[in-house]
Amino acid sequence: MLGSLLPAFGGTEPPGWLLRRIAAGHAHGVTVFLRANAADAEGLAALTEELHDTAPGRLPLLIGADQEGGQLVGLGHGTTRFPGAMALGAADDPALTEATGRAMGRELRALGITVDYAPVCDVAVEPDNVSLGTRAFGSDPGMVGRHSAALTLGLQEGGVVATPKHFPGFGAVDADPHYELASIDLAIDGLEARELVPFRAAIEAGAGMVMSGHVALPAVTGDRALPATVSRLVMHELLRNRLGFNGVSITDAMDMQAVAQGIGGVIDSIVALRAGVDLLLMTPDRAAQKRLEDGLRQASVRGLVPASRIRASQRRLLRLRRWLKHFVWPERAYVLSQAHRDLADRSARAAVTLVRDEAGLLPLRPPADERVLVITPQPRELTPADSSADEPLALAAAVRRHHDLVTDLRLPAEPSDDDVRAAREAAAAADAVVVATLATNVQPSQARLVQAVLETGTPTVTVAMRTPYDLADYPRSATHLCAYSIVPASVGAVAEALFGRSPIGGILPVDIPGLYPRGHGLEVSQWA
C-alpha cells in the first residue's frame, strides 16, 4: 500500500529512503514544492532526472507541482510566470488559455515535472474565499469549464498530466481548507448546474488526474463534517460513476486542517483509499509521512483496504505513467524562452480590465515636468497556496518606462496610521497618483489609505492588482483598473494600459458586489 502515497521531501537532492522506494517499485512519484525543492531551475532538473533514472524500466514517474501561474507559481522565478487563471478568465480567449497550458507543459516537462496540479476548476462565487483568490478562472460555470478544458488540452499536449481541482469544487465557501473544513450547501441539482460543470469539461478534455478538495458535501454524503476526500459517495459514485472519470484520483495535501491530523489523519487516509482514492498527496513532513506509512502497513496486514481496490489503483497509475512515456523530453531552452515570455505578456495585456473612468483620466499624458506618485503595498502570502511574497510588484519602475518623473512609495501590506498620513501628504504634493491594492477584503487598511489619497483631490487611478473586488471597499474611486496578477508581465501590462500603449479589452470574470456584474469592462482601443 506504500504505492498509494505520493511522498515529498525537503532539499535539492533526493533522500536515500526515497530512491530505494522508487527503485523497488513502491513509489509512483513525488511532489516538489517551491519552498522545499525549487531553489533554481537547473537544480530542479538535476533532481528530477535522478528520480526518473531510478525508476524501474525508466518509466516516467508522476512528479507533480503547483504550477498554476499568477498567485501560485510553484516552481519559482526559474520558470515563466504566467498571469494565472483569473487573468485568463478576464481575457476570455480559450485559444490563449490552451496556448498558455501548452507552454507551461513544455516548461514543466523540460524540467522533469510530469504532473501539474492544475487547472483550478472551482467556480469563484465567494469573494471572501481567500484560499482561492485569483486561482479560479471566474464565477460563470460555463466559462470556467471552457478554460479548464483548454488548459487541460494545452498541458497534456505538452506531455504533462493535467489535474483538475479541487473536486467537487470549493469556490462557494469562505473558509480556507488549510485551516478548517467548510461545507457546500447545495442540492445535487445545484452542484450539477455549477460546481460540477468545469470538472465535466476538463474530464471530457482528457484530464489524466483529478484532485479532491477537503470540503463537505452534505447533499451527497448527508454529513456536514465529512470531507469529500474520504467519502466513497463523492470520490467513487460522483466522480467515477456520475462524471465518468477513469483516470487517477489524488487527494489534496493530507496535512491540511480540513481533514484529521495525527492518528486521525492515518485513519482518514485509510478511509480515503477505501473510498476509491488512488494517491495520497503528502508534504515534506517526514515524521507525518512515517506515521502514515506505519499505519498503511498495519492496514494492509489487517486487510482494511480490499486488495482488489489497491490493484485497480495500481493499474490506473501504471497506465498514466505509460502514457507519459510516449512524449519526447523537450529541450531545456523552452524554459523561460522569449516565446513564452511574449505569451505571458500577451495574456497579461488581454486581461487588464478598465472598470471605470468617470474622471476621464486615461490615458495618462502628464507633461514632462509633472510628478506621478505610484503607491504599492508589499505583497504577502494570504494563504499557503500563494507565492506572492516572491514578487516585487515593481509598478513604479514599469510606470517610469513611460514617464520620467515618478516617485515610488512602497508601504507595508497593512499600512499604519503613519503610513496613511505619509501617503496623503505625498499624494497632495503630486500631480497624479497611481495606487495599487492587494485584496482589501483581508487587508482593509489598504482601502483606508486609498480613501485618504482620494480625499486630496489629486487625479488618482486605483488598480486592483490581485482580486478584482477591491473597488467595493473604496467605491469613490472614479478611475479603476483590474489586473488579476502581480507577476512582472501583469505589472508591465498595467503601466502600458495607463499610458495608452496597448488596448484594453478585459472583462470582469466575477461580480464586484454591489457595483458591477461579471462581464463588465470598458473596451478602449490603443490610444495614438
Which residues form the catalytic set?
Answer: 178, 252
Q: Which residues contact 224 (CB under 8 A, 6 or more apart)?
A: 183, 216, 218
CA of 369: how far to CAs of 227, 403, 404, 432, in Å? Answer: 60, 10, 9, 12
**48, 111 Cβ separation under 8 angstroms:** yes
**DSSP labels for 19-85?**
HHHHHTT---EEE--HHHH-S-HHHHHHHHHHHHHHSGGGPPPEEEE-EEETTEETTGGGS-----H
Backbone angles phi, psi at 511, to 5 degrees: -75, 145
Whole-number Å distance between alpha carbons of 422 and 22: 57
**148, 142 Cβ separation under 8 angstroms:** no
Whole-number Å distance between alpha carbons of 334 and 209: 24
Q: Which three cell numbers stand for residue 251?
A: 487527494
For 338, counting Cβ atoms within 10 Å of its Cβ (0-12 exposed, 13-18 middle, 19+ buried), the class is exposed
Whole-number Å distance between alpha carbons of 252 and 166: 8
Whole-number Å distance between alpha carbons of 440 and 442: 5
Q: How many helices (H) and strands (E) does the chain have?
A: 18, 16
**3-state class (DSSP) for residue 463:** strand
**3-state class (DSSP) for residue 98:** helix
